[in-house]
Amino acid sequence: MSNIETRKKLALSFSCAYIFLVCICTIFNLAVPQEFTIIVTTVIAYYFGGETALDTVENHQKEDR
């Protein structure tokens, strides 16, 4: 499995878990844990940061040809 596929699956699973947790907290009138929000934000930032870096490398390689 490639590194990109792993990042996509992690970002998607954390996003789904976060949405589920927010829905549950809203139903039961609870606060969303701040630690979980920080973790989800970090994972999504890692995914998009890595995706952007890979796109930049690919674009530079195409320009060099």
Q: Structural domain of residue 19, as residue ranges?
A: 3-64
**DSSP string spanning 50-61?**
HHHHHHHHHHHH
Q: Is the pTM of the predicted complex or chain greater than 0.75?
A: no
pLDDT digits (tens, 9 = 90+) for 5-24: 787 888 888 889 889 999 99
More confident residue, 33 or 4: 33
pLDDT digits (tens, 9 = 90+) for 48-65: 777 666 666 566 566 666
Instruction: Please tell me the total count of domains within the chain.
Output: 1
The predicted structure's pLDDT at residue 65: 62
State yes or no: pLDDT of 35 exceeds 80: yes
A 10 A CB-CB count for 19 gives 11
